[in-house]
C-alpha cells in the first residue's frame, strides 16, 4: 500500500520562519567568519591606525637635549605640563618623580658633584628651590628661538639651544648640575627604565607624562591634534583618521561632564551600553531590522517542498519508537 505525505500549506506571512524546524546552514559559518575577517583586514588598511614606533625618553633626549633640559627645569619649578596630572592620574610631585628621584638614587654613579647638588637642593626651602629653577628657566629663554605667527598661535614652544648652555650665568644654585645629570640618565635610557620600574602596574604612564613635558613632543601633539581636547583618542600621528572605532568613547572622554575622569568615563560608557542593550530588542522598527534585511538567511533556509512534513506525524512516529 502506497503512502503519500500530505504537505500542509504554509500560512505564515512572507519573511516569517515556518512553524516547523528549519534547515540550518552550518557550512556557511566558516565562510561568514572568513568574509568578516577579510572585511576587517580591508577596513584596517583603509581607515585603521598605523603602528607608529613609540617615542622613548632616550630617543627624544638624544635628538633634542635642549628641550629635555627645559622640561627638567620646569618640573623643578612647578610649571611643567605634568604638574596638571597630580591627583588626576595618581601622579606625585613631578620634581621628585622625574628629576630628584632618579638623580638621587643613582648619585653614586654620577660623581661627587651631583651628590653634593642633591644635598644642597634638599636642604633648601621650597621658596629657594623655585627661585633657582625660575632663574634658570628665564636664562634658558635667552638662548631659545622666539616663536611667531601660526606657531605662537598654536602654543608651540621651541627648545633652548643646547650648544649655548655653557654661556648662561646667574644664581641657579644646584639646578644646572641636577638637570644635566638627569639628561645623561635620560640619553642613556636609565630614566625610561627607572620610571617603568617605579610604577610597574602602569608601565608606560610616567614615560608618557614626561614626553608631554618635553617641548618638541608637546608641539607635535598640538600641531597633530593629539591632545585630549583635540580628540586625541581618535587620532594618531601620521594618519588623519586613526582608530575610528573609538569615536564614541572619545566624545564621552572629551565632551561629557566628568568624562575625563576614570569613574565618569566608565559610568558614561556603561550607560550607553545599557541603552543599546535595551533599545535593540525593545524599540519597534529597530528590533525588526535584522528580519527586514533577511539576515536570517545567513544561518538557516526554508525547506523546499519535498523536505516539508507534518509535525503531528513526526510526533506520532516518535511515540511509536
- What tens digit of pLDDT does each residue of 204-242 get? 788 988 998 999 888 888 777 777 777 777 777 766 666
Q: Please indicate, yes or no, whether residues 251 and 201 belong to a single structural domain of this protein.
A: no
> 261 in helix, strand or coil?
coil
Residue 129 lies in a domain: yes
Give the helix/strand (H/E) hosting 68. helix 65-77
pLDDT in tens, 20-36: 566 667 778 888 899 99
pLDDT at 311 over 80: no
CA distances from residue 38 to 21, 133, 243 in whole angstroms, order as listed: 32, 56, 18
Predicted pLDDT of residue 152: 58
**CB crowding 149-172: b at 16 or more within 10 Å, else e:** eebeeeebbbbbebeebeebeeeb
pLDDT at 319 over 50: no
> 152 in helix, strand or coil?
helix
Residue 321 lies in a domain: no
Name 24's Cβ contacts closer than 8 Å, sequence gap at least 6: 299, 300
Higher model confidence: residue 153 or residue 167?
167
Residue 137: which of 179, 80, 180, 74 has the closest Cα?
74
Q: Please indicate, yes or no, whether residues 270 and 175 belong to a single structural domain of this protein.
A: no
**Any long-range contacts for 80-84 (C-beta under 8 Å, 24+ apart)?**
80/213, 81/212, 81/213, 81/218, 82/209, 82/210, 82/212, 82/213
Neighbours of 310 (CB within 10 A): 13
**Cα angle, residue 43 at apex, residues 41 and 46 outer, rounded to 5°:** 110
The CA distance from 33 to 91, in Å, is 44
Higher model confidence: residue 83 or residue 204?
83
Domain count, the chain: 2
Q: Please indicate, yes or no, whether residues 185 and 259 belong to a single structural domain of this protein.
A: no
Q: Please indicate, yes or no, whether residues 218 and 305 belong to a single structural domain of this protein.
A: no
Q: Please indicate, yes or no, whether residues 111 and 167 belong to a single structural domain of this protein.
A: yes
Q: Please indicate, yes or no, whether residues 219 and 104 belong to a single structural domain of this protein.
A: yes
Name 130's Cβ contacts closer than 8 Å, sequence gap at least 6: 77, 78
Q: What is the dihedral of CA 253, 229, 248, 51, to 10 degrees?
A: -110
Q: Which domain holds residue 299?
A: 245-316
Residue 5 lies in a domain: no
The CA distance from 193 to 206, in Å, is 11
pLDDT at 292 over 70: yes
Q: Please indicate, yes or no, whether residues 276 and 307 belong to a single structural domain of this protein.
A: yes
Higher model confidence: residue 74 or residue 278?
74
| pTM for this prediction | 0.69
Q: Please indicate, yes or no, whether residues 159 and 75 belong to a single structural domain of this protein.
A: yes
pLDDT at 118 over 90: yes
Q: Please indicate, yes or no, whether residues 214 and 304 belong to a single structural domain of this protein.
A: no
Q: Please indicate, yes or no, whether residues 164 and 219 belong to a single structural domain of this protein.
A: yes
Amino acid at each position: 500500500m502506497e503512502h503519500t505525505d500530505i504537505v500542509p500549506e504554509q500560512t505564515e506571512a512572507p519573511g516569517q520562519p515556518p512553524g516547523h524546524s528549519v534547515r540550518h546552514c552550518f557550512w556557511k559559518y566558516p565562510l561568514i567568519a572568513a568574509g568578516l575577517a577579510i572585511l576587517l583586514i580591508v577596513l584596517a588598511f583603509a581607515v585603521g591606525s598605523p603602528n607608529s614606533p613609540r617615542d622613548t625618553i632616550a630617543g627624544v633626549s638624544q635628538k633634542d637635549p635642549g628641550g629635555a633640559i627645559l622640561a627638567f627645569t620646569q618640573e623643578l619649578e612647578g610649571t611643567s605640563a605634568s604638574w596638571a596630572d597630580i591627583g588626576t592620574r595618581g601622579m606625585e610631585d613631578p620634581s621628585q618623580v622625574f628629576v630628584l628621584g632618579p638623580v638621587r638614587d643613582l648619585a653614586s654613579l654620577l660623581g661627587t658633584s651631583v651628590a653634593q647638588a642633591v644635598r644642597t637642593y634638599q636642604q633648601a626651602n621650597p621658596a629657594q628651590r623655585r627661585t633657582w629653577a625660575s632663574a634658570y628657566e628665564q636664562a634658558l629663554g635667552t638662548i631659545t628661538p622666539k616663536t611667531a605667527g601660526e606657531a605662537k598661535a598654536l602654543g608651540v614652544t621651541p627648545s633652548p639651544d643646547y650648544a649655548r648652555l655653557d654661556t648662561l650665568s646667574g644664581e641657579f644654585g644646584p639646578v644646572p648640575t641636577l638637570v644635566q645629570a638627569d639628561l645623561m640618565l635620560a640619553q642613556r635610557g636609565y630614566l625610561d627604565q627607572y620610571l617603568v620600574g617605579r610604577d610597574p602596574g602602569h608601565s608606560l604612564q610616567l614615560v608618557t607624562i614626561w614626553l608631554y613635558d618635553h617641548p618638541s613632543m608637546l608641539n607635535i601633539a598640538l600641531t597633530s591634534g593629539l591632545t585630549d581636547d583635540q580628540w586625541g583618542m581618535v587620532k594618531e600621528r601620521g594618519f588623519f583618521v586613526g582608530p575610528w572605532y573609538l569615536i564614541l568613547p572619545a566624545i564621552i572622554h572629551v565632551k561629557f561632564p566628568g568624562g575625563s575622569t576614570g569613574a565618569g568615563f566608565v559610568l558614561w560608557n556603561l550607560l550607553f551600553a545599557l541603552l543599546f542593550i535595551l533599545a535593540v530588542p525593545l524599540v519597534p522598527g529597530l528590533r525588526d531590522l535584522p528580519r527586514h534585511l533577511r539576515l536570517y538567511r545567513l544561518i538557516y533556509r526554508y525547506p523546499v517542498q519535498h523536505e516539508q512534513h507534518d509535525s503531528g506525524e513526526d510526533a506520532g512516529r516518535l511515540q511509536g519508537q
